[in-house]
Amino acid sequence: MRFANSPSVMSKVTVPSTMGRNSASLSQVYGRVAARVSVRNARGMTLVEVMIVVVIVGILSALGIYGVQKYLRSAQASEAYAVINAIRGAQEVYRQDTFEYLDVSGGNFDNSHPSAEPGVKQSWGVAAGASDDSAGRRFQQLGVDVDSGVHFRYSCVAGRTGSSFPSVPTQKKDFGLPGTASEPFYIIVAKGDLDGDGVYSYALSHSLTDEVYAEREGE
């Protein structure tokens, strides 16, 4: 049964012409956005981004330099332990022959070797005109020799049984020593200024201990 004037089921549907125009407009918008993004990427980093990179590189460089300096100071500080142990061994050999230790510095820690102020690497060699009572000559008498240069100044004060222990030139004045020696003794002091700021670091030891005491290590 068919109704009069009713549209056919198979009638053609007409698409509004405005949809085609809208599709074209969207394509144009997308193209403009893509072009702007491409232009922005071609410009590279902004000034703020460059400044951030520079700051980061500066921080990393500073950390690297600090790490290298710390490593070098640690290596230089280990020199003091090696030389102190060499002096200890030489003093023990000397005592076997003489029953006492050699007073290298003549009771005065300022009489040290090398004689120049610490802060730069110095030769261990003894000057030709050095006096016989200089620390350099007496270290030579002990047989203490260092092939390479040294960053510390070394002194060694010795005493006999019954004598008083001298005060060491550091903050730890007593250094764990009793007032009077019950046997022959020696005290070794290494004085350095590894960073050149005028603040001294010390490494100390004596005949009554196997330990090395460090004060302001790395300075």
pLDDT digits (tens, 9 = 90+) for 150-164: 989 999 999 999 998
Please state, in angstroms and rounded to a whole number, the distance separating the CA atoms of residues 35 and 106.
87
Q: CB under 8 Å to 139, separation ≥6 — which residues?
A: 87, 104, 113, 126, 154, 156
The per-residue pLDDT for 6 is 45
Please state, in angstroms and rounded to a whole number, the distance separating the CA atoms of residues 100 and 20.
112
pLDDT in tens, 116-142: 887 788 899 888 888 888 999 999 999
Q: CB under 8 Å to 119, separation ≥6 — which residues?
A: 193, 196
The per-residue pLDDT for 137 is 94
* pTM as predicted: 0.66
The verdict on whether omega for the bond into residue 166 sits within 30 degrees of 0, i.e. cis, is no
The per-residue pLDDT for 94 is 96
Give the residue ranges of the chain where pLDDT is below 70.
1-45, 62-77, 171-176, 217-219
Ramachandran assignment for 183, one of left (phi > 0), alpha (psi -120 to 50 degrees), beta (any other): beta
Q: How far is CA 208 from CA 75, 138, 181, 190, in A?
A: 27, 22, 10, 17
pLDDT in tens, 48-68: 778 888 888 878 776 665 555
Q: Average pLDDT over the chain, rounded to whole?
A: 77
Nearest CA to 133 out of 115, 152, 149, 160 is that of 115
